[in-house]
Amino acid sequence: MGVEPAMNRRDSTEQNSGQRQIVSRIDIKTYLRDKRDLIDSFLRSHFSMPLAPATLNDAMVYSLFAGGKRLRPILALASYEACGGDGTEILPYVASLELIHTYSLVHDDLPAMDDDDLRRGKPTNHKVFGEGMAILAGDALLTEAFSLLSDSSRLSSPSPRGVLDETRSRIPPSAVLKVIGEVSMAAGAHGMVGGQAEDLLSEDAAPESEKLSFIHSHKTGALITVSVRMGAILARAGKKNLRALTRYGENIGLAFQIIDDILDIQGNTGELGKTTGSDEKKKKMTYPGLYGIDRSAKKAEELVEEAVGVLQSFRESADPLREIALYITKRRT
Amino acid sequence: MGVEPAMNRRDSTEQNSGQRQIVSRIDIKTYLRDKRDLIDSFLRSHFSMPLAPATLNDAMVYSLFAGGKRLRPILALASYEACGGDGTEILPYVASLELIHTYSLVHDDLPAMDDDDLRRGKPTNHKVFGEGMAILAGDALLTEAFSLLSDSSRLSSPSPRGVLDETRSRIPPSAVLKVIGEVSMAAGAHGMVGGQAEDLLSEDAAPESEKLSFIHSHKTGALITVSVRMGAILARAGKKNLRALTRYGENIGLAFQIIDDILDIQGNTGELGKTTGSDEKKKKMTYPGLYGIDRSAKKAEELVEEAVGVLQSFRESADPLREIALYITKRRT
């Protein structure tokens, strides 16, 4: 605990940090890649055990390793670091967020939902394993997320950096329970599933700012916000810091979604790995659809600026969070 | 704690209990009805809060109140009582089992799975709400189960018998975490979803006893066993009792499934509320299909007898568990 992320740190003496103009003291691309590798290696180890039937395991692993950015677990790790924790300690918890995110994509892509054939440049789960198995793979990923959050027994085997079991005992069960409660609320009917249901019901409906805001804050916002909160809760952050990080999460969650909508219009299918222009084809309610691209891009930038602003009282250990926020408006995939 | 279930108790002095010939000291039908009412009233109160979008809420509630027997929560309550607890204390935990059971039925009935139109005498969820919403309602029910298991904040409002908050503080977080871990293992890829996946893969396959055993123990057995274990863990049962109750759960889980398979052949659609003969039509692997009805019925009776046998060292408070076991082979719906 209390360890500053030394990895990838540049010399900070030559630079100043400010609220509006953040001068990078870390190389964000290296940071994101290193954290992604860490999460991938944990997930690979977790799913290396044989499971019957093998097809179910294959279907789960297929989508879990289809090239995800691991944004949610990385946010949780960065938030944990910002509150004084050493990010590698809480891998099983943060990895659960990727399982939930992946399950939501598998189910969203189903013919009865968004009916997508392509995801991250690969055929969607049901295209490879069939609809029934894709539904079950999603169900299993969601359930496994709660296994990861609650159960330490399967982690006693050799695991990345060998720090997991030690960690388990350091985080009090009450904090873990709080995290499980928040994750389930963010992922379920009151959060992500509620947003997806509204999205499903709103196809072909006239665009409406209130409804769009509900969909965004629930469908993607809730899980991103709870990712940031998870790190803070596990690091036993105080109320003030938790409040600031919650606002940070809400802001970057919405910014992330707006950029996603813009990329769906402007990006090219090859780079993005999914069919662009699909929102318009499906008559999805989107930010650029309602406000135009320019106003949407400006809104995303304002949200990011505000997100960085609320971290003002945090020290250098919050730099990854600051950089992630800024990176969101720069991403092209 | 330590309170014997006085409700529905007949005068036990005039009767003897034995291992093989259980003489009823409770009226099991009244017991099952009273517990079902208790669980229903908790669930009704829990789902009385408005939720957006309303259609999602409607879809969840539709299947949750479609006439389920509440067997799993009742088993958890009875197991809690058998270990010295007062069954009404742990309603939020045991209710979560019904949410998981219901979600599994909603997803199993989908066209991509068993493609059933009728469940408990009513149109299946996707027939009423559409496939996409049925998938989401299942997802939401599963996720809500973990909210119920982990979160007490939403329970501070008036709740059945007003005992919930008090309870929450009496059960240590570590016991709750253990329960969440076990439930997620029993419900996910290592349990129920794994069984359903094997079932899906085995349609049209040649009947095979090992595969059938895997499907039964995973698809229905795991959740029934964990229901019994939940009650014991929450009552802080010792290892010996937990072991006995686990064996009880495994036995009645399999007996329950065998009777289910027999009823699918012998029952009538009106009484059962679902299309009979559907297993054969779908070429499902079943016990009577593999061993014939007579041998299957005998096997179920042996399993029940053994289940009652392992409870030998338990006192009168385990009578409901004994009676439930015996009731399984007598049920007609």
* Amino acid (1-letter code) at residue B88: T
The CA distance from B184 to B192, in Å, is 10
Over residues B137-152, the pLDDT tens digits come to 999 999 999 999 997 5
Return the axis-axis angle of helices B239-266 and B293-309, rounded to nearest 10°: 160
Higher pLDDT, A196 or A22: A196
Looking at residue A276, its pLDDT comes to: 65
Over residues B272-326, the pLDDT tens digits come to 555 666 777 777 889 999 999 999 999 999 999 999 999 999 999 999 999 999 9
Over residues B255-264, the pLDDT tens digits come to 999 999 999 8
Tokens 């030559």 — which residue? A14
Residue A51 pLDDT > 90? no
To the nearest whole Å, the CA of B106 is away from the closest chain A CA by 11
Tokens 């069939």 — which residue? A130
Return the axis-axis angle of helices A91-108 and B131-150, rounded to nearest 10°: 160
Distances (CA, A) of A275 to A102, A112, A267, A278, B170: 18, 18, 9, 6, 53
Instruction: Name the residue facing B189 among A140, A153, A198 (closest C-beta).
Output: A140
Q: Is A143 on the interface with B (CB under 8 A)?
A: yes
Looking at residue B100, its pLDDT comes to: 98
Contact assignment for A184 to B147 by CB distance below 8 Å: yes
To the nearest whole Å, the CA of B57 is away from the closest chain A CA by 8
Contact assignment for A135 to B133 by CB distance below 8 Å: no
The CA distance from A144 to A47, in Å, is 10
Residue A61 pLDDT > 90? yes
Encoding tokens for residue A93?
């918890």
Looking at residue A71, its pLDDT comes to: 97
Identify whether the C-beta of residue A284 lies closer than 8 Å to the C-beta of residue A211: no
Return the axis-axis angle of helices A131-150 and B173-187, rounded to nearest 10°: 160
Residue B20 pLDDT > 70? no
B181 contact residues in A (CB cutoff 8 A): 147, 150-151, 153
Over residues A268-310, the pLDDT tens digits come to 555 555 566 677 777 788 999 999 999 999 999 999 999 999 9
Residue A102 pLDDT > 90? yes
Residue B18 pLDDT > 60? no
The CA distance from A36 to B89, in Å, is 44
Looking at residue B9, its pLDDT comes to: 39
A189 contact residues in B (CB cutoff 8 A): 51, 56-57, 60, 140, 143-144
Residue A173 pLDDT > 70? yes
* Amino acid (1-letter code) at residue B216: H
B177 contact residues in A (CB cutoff 8 A): 150, 173, 176-177
Asked whether the ipTM of the predicted complex exceeds the cut of 0.90, the reply is no
**Mean pLDDT in residue range B97-112:** 98
Higher pLDDT, A271 or B179: B179
Closest CA to B74 of B59, B90, B63: B90
Name beta bridge partners: B80. Answer: none
Residue B217 pLDDT > 70? yes
pLDDT bucket at B11, cuts 50 / 70 / 90:
very low
B6 φψ region: left (φ > 0), alpha (ψ -120 to 50), beta (else) = alpha
Identify whether the C-beta of residue A53 lies closer than 8 Å to the C-beta of residue B197: yes
Contact assignment for A56 to B193 by CB distance below 8 Å: yes
Looking at residue B268, its pLDDT comes to: 57
Looking at residue A273, its pLDDT comes to: 59
> Where do runs of H (alpha helix) occur along B109-151?
125-129, 131-150
SS3 B106: helix
Residue A159 pLDDT > 50? no
Residue A43 pLDDT > 70? yes
A58 contact residues in B (CB cutoff 8 A): none
Residue B166 pLDDT > 90? no
The CA distance from B110 to B117, in Å, is 9
Chain A interface, best mutation among B99, B105, B146, by max A CB count within 10 A: B146
Mean pLDDT for all residues in chain B: 86
pLDDT bucket at A16, cuts 50 / 70 / 90:
very low
Looking at residue B284, its pLDDT comes to: 82
pLDDT bucket at B14, cuts 50 / 70 / 90:
very low
Encoding tokens for residue A209?
């700012």
Encoding tokens for residue B60?
């969840």
**Mean pLDDT in residue range B222-243:** 97
To the nearest whole Å, the CA of B123 is away from the closest chain A CA by 18
Closest CA to B185 of B149, B218, B147: B218
A143 contact residues in B (CB cutoff 8 A): 142, 184, 187-189, 193
Q: Which of residues 50-89 of B touch A (CB under 8 A)?
A: 51-53, 55-57, 60
The CA distance from B173 to B250, in Å, is 26
Contact assignment for B176 to A173 by CB distance below 8 Å: yes
B188 contact residues in A (CB cutoff 8 A): 139-140, 143-144, 147
Residue A160 pLDDT > 50? no
Residue B12 pLDDT > 60? no
Contact assignment for A177 to B181 by CB distance below 8 Å: no
The CA distance from B117 to B127, in Å, is 7
Residue A105 pLDDT > 90? yes
Higher pLDDT, B26 or A102: A102
**Mean pLDDT in residue range B328-333:** 76
pLDDT bucket at B247, cuts 50 / 70 / 90:
very high
Looking at residue A157, its pLDDT comes to: 36
| pLDDT > 90: percent of chain A | 71
The CA distance from A224 to B223, in Å, is 31
Over residues B82-103, the pLDDT tens digits come to 999 986 779 999 999 999 999 9
Residue B208 pLDDT > 60? yes
- Domains of chain B are 28-328 (1.10.600.10)
Contact assignment for B184 to A151 by CB distance below 8 Å: yes
Element (H, E) at A265: helix A239-266
**SS3 track for A120-181:** CCEECHHHHHCHHHHHHHHHHHHHHHHHHHHCCHHHCCCCHHHCHHHHHHHCCHHHHHHHHH
* Amino acid (1-letter code) at residue B84: G
- CA dihedral (A49, A50, A53, A58) positive or negative: positive
Identify whether the C-beta of residue B129 lies closer than 8 Å to the C-beta of residue B138: no
Ranking A48-57, A110-119, B178-187 by mean pLDDT, the lowest is A48-57
Closest chain B residue by Cα to residue A138:
B139
The CA distance from A54 to A99, in Å, is 18
Tokens 């209990």 — which residue? B17
Looking at residue B44, its pLDDT comes to: 96
C-alpha angle with apex A227: B53 to B51, nearest 5 degrees? 15
Element (H, E) at A118: strand A118-119
A197 contact residues in B (CB cutoff 8 A): 53, 55-56, 133, 136, 140
